[in-house]
Amino acid sequence: MKKLLFPILLGGSFGLLPMLSTAQTQSRGEVQDQEFVIRKDRVLTLPAQPRIFEKLPVLPQPKGLTDFNYMVSRYNLNLQPLQLAATPAQKNYQAPRMDLYPGFIRAGYGNFVSPLLEVRYMGTQVEDFNYSVQLNHQSFGQGPVLAEQSKESHTNLGVDGSYFADLFEVYGGLKWKQDSYQFYGFDTTLASNMDIDLTQIPGNVLNTVEVKAGIREIEKVGPFYYEGELSFRNFKDSYLAVENEFGIKGSGKFRANEDWSGKVDLDFYSTSPEDFNYAETRTYFGIKPTVSYNYGEFNFTAGLNVVSENDSIADKSSNLRVFPVLKASYQFAPEFGFYGSFTGDVNRNTYYSFVMENPFLGPTNRLLNTVNNYKIQAGIEGQFQESFHYRAGIDVSRYNQLYFFVNNYRIKVIDFSDEERFNLVYDDKVAVFNINAELGFKMSDIYTLGSRLDLYQYDLNQQAEAWHRPTWEFRVNNQVTPIERLIVQANLNFMGGIKARGASLGVEIGGPETYQVVKLKSIADLQLKADYGITERISIFAEGNNLLNGQNTRWLNYPVRGIQLVGGASFKF
């Protein structure tokens, strides 16, 4: 208690001093009464201090880093080098299972007495030597005119084989083909008053045997690629036409880097055709070097077509011809680009190629190649929405010895069957103007479409018309896979503006012989094909041609069959 009283008295003394000094200033020497209250029960307390205001503890200061020096001593040990022996890892890798069937057979039957047979067999084992055998046959026992008088048949049998070495492949093959046709394209307006049994008019059987052997490099992506082939073909018909051909074909490609590449093609053919009043040996030799350069989206190709051929043509200065090859394209964007070219070449023609185009060709006394003096092409192309692609262009070409097929009306009185056969005529100077457009569409694997339109205009020098050549063509091809294992194809083919040469109208004095011009109807052909796989091995199919039942006539007096239906099944073994 005494300890507490002393601080209180001391504090009160200090508090009294200002009061006394004030009183002295008010009235010096005056004494006033004062009252002091002392409370003994009062407790003084202080608020708790928050820890946030506590000072940080003082941490010890780190000592400075010092350099450490190590002494390394070398010890040379005479040890043998370590021998590492590689051992293969034993692991079973299961390759994906693929059911490969070496054999395939397809058979069917349709109207017009039309059996169909296709047989294929090939080696499926991974070996150095591989082979394949194929047989195809389709015939029509009846046709659009006099049933059996317009029948036809097609058969071919082929064998191919390949031997694979480490760097190259040696291949070869043998093929036999037979095509049989009846001459039924008579003019009923001229034959109506003639007492002729048309069923006795003979047909024509075309037999072809082809042999080939060659070598080519297996790796096609290296800096150099080569291939070469030897071939021989024998062709003859039921009359006197025979043609033998021996050919050598080679090609070499080199790639200096990703931008520069080059190519050299070599072709040599010796053909010996014989006919009723025609026999000659024709040779063709061509060297075609080109160099290509790619710079981004720009592509450029330059080269030459050097061709030597010995066809006999009036006022021919030389057998050697040289044509430039210039091609360029630039793709501004995937949606749009342009292309252009200026080229020339000699298009090789043989009696075999003519008959494959028009099987009703008769005897001929002149076979000529077609000289394409120049061909100028320009157009645009591109794709959009990653599904559509398009192409449109204009072509201007100049030809010498462009060929046409015309009916042989001249000797119909001597031999009526000659009226049904065609002959070859040529024009020495022809300019062809062509406008073309293509459009394609693909929707995954479900639907694909391809279409093309061509418009032609001919500027002739000797012939009155471009006989049997269309002035317009339009083609649409569709393929649909609506469900698994079902494939449906729908094709549309249109062709028009065809003019044929009719009977002779006589020869004007001092002028050429004139002929009747026959305008053929436009051709419209709808084709449908469907194939459904019942199992992995068995499937069924159905085909329909000329479903519009059009009276289509590609060659004068030769209407085609009406609606053709074929159905059947196929089997893998």
Give the CA-trace dihedral at 309, 312, 313, 319, to 10 degrees: 30
DSSP letter at 198 equals: G
User: 107-157 pLDDT, tens per residue?
Assistant: 999 999 999 999 999 988 878 899 999 999 999 999 888 778 889 999 999
Structure tokens belonging to residue 487: 């494939």
Q: Which of 28-42, 163-177, 364-378 has the lowest mean pLDDT?
A: 28-42
d(CA 132, CA 41): 125
- Whether 95 has a pLDDT exceeding 80, the answer reads no
Contacts (Cβ under 8 Å, ≥6 apart) of 370? 346, 347, 349, 399, 400, 401, 402, 403
Decide if pLDDT at 406 tops 90.
yes
pLDDT-derived band at 10, boundaries 50, 70, 90: very low
Instruction: Quote the CA–CA distance of 362 and 418 in Å, as a whole number.
Output: 8
Q: In this predicted model, what pLDDT tens digit does every residue of 347-381 receive, in sequence order?
A: 999 999 999 999 999 888 889 999 999 999 999 99
Rounded CA separation 375/398 (Å): 7
Tell which phi-psi region holds residue 557, choosing left (phi > 0), alpha (psi between -120 and 50) or beta.
left
SS3 of residue 467 by DSSP: coil
Per-residue model confidence (pLDDT) at position 357: 95
Tell whether the model's pLDDT for residue 23 goes beyond 90.
no
Residue pLDDT, tens place only, 414-431: 344 467 889 999 999 999
pLDDT at 513: 82
Tell me: pLDDT of 278 over 50.
Answer: yes
Burial of 430 (0-12, 13-18, 19+ CB in 10 A): buried
What pLDDT score does 66 carry?
A: 61
Read off the tokens for 303. Answer: 């080269």
* Closest listed residue to residue 455, CA positions, set 468, 440, 470: 470
**% the chain with pLDDT above 70:** 81
Specify the higher pLDDT residue, 46 or 486: 486
Q: What's the burial of 188, exposed, middle or buried (CB within 10 Å: 0-12/13-18/19+)?
A: exposed
**β-pair partners for 501:** 517
Cα→Cα distances 385→171, 338, 442, Å: 43, 19, 11
Poorest-pLDDT segment among 22-26, 59-63, 103-107, 481-485: 22-26
What distance separates the 2 farthest-apart alpha carbons in the chain?
181
- In this predicted structure, the answer to whether residue 195 has a pLDDT above a threshold of 60 is no
Rounded-to-integer distance, Cα 380 and Cα 411, Å: 50
Under DSSP, the state recorded for 53 is G
Distance CA 319, CA 229 (A): 25
Helix (H) or strand (E) holding 456: strand 447-459
- Residues of the chain with pLDDT > 90, as a percent, come to 62
Residue 141 sits at φ, ψ, to 5 deg, of: -70, -20
pLDDT of residue 312: 85
Nearest to 408 by CA among 423, 398, 397, 395: 423
Rounded to 5°, angle at Cα 315 from 314 and 320: 100
- Residues with Cβ within 8 Å of 513's Cβ and at least 6 positions away in sequence, in order, are 504, 505, 506, 507
* Closest C-alpha among 310, 292, 309 to residue 301: 292
Domain boundaries, the chain: 111-194
* Better pLDDT: 199 or 356: 356
Residue 419: Cβ-neighbour burial (10 angstroms; 0-12, 13-18, 19+): buried
Q: If we measure between CA atoms, which residue out of 247, 174, 245, 255 comes closest to residue 217?
A: 255
**Highest mean predicted confidence (pLDDT) among 92-96, 202-206, 399-403, 443-447:** 399-403
User: Phi/psi at 457 (nearest 5 deg)?
Assistant: -140, 135
Residue appearing with tokens 């093309």 = 452
Reply yes or no on whether the pLDDT at 44 is more than 70.
no
Taking residue 41's Cβ as centre, other Cβ atoms within 10 Å add up to 4
Least confident of 31-40, 163-172, 293-302, 306-315: 31-40
439-450 pLDDT, tens digit each: 999 988 899 999
What residues pair up with 345 in beta bridges, in sequence order? 372
Which of 91-95, 208-212, 302-306 shows the lowest mean pLDDT across its residues?
A: 91-95
More confident residue, 70 or 118: 118
Residues 7 and 15: their CA atoms lie apart, in Å, by 12
Q: What is the pLDDT of residue 46?
A: 61
SS (H, E, C) 496-531: ECCEEEEEEEEECCCCCEEEEEEECCCEEEEEEEEE
Q: Is the pTM of this model over 0.75?
A: yes
Q: What is the pLDDT of residue 256?
A: 85
CB atoms within 10 A of CB 345: 18
**H or E segment and range at residue 223:** none
Whole-number mean pLDDT of the chain?
Answer: 86
Residue 445 exposure: Cα atoms within 13 Å on the Cβ side: 5
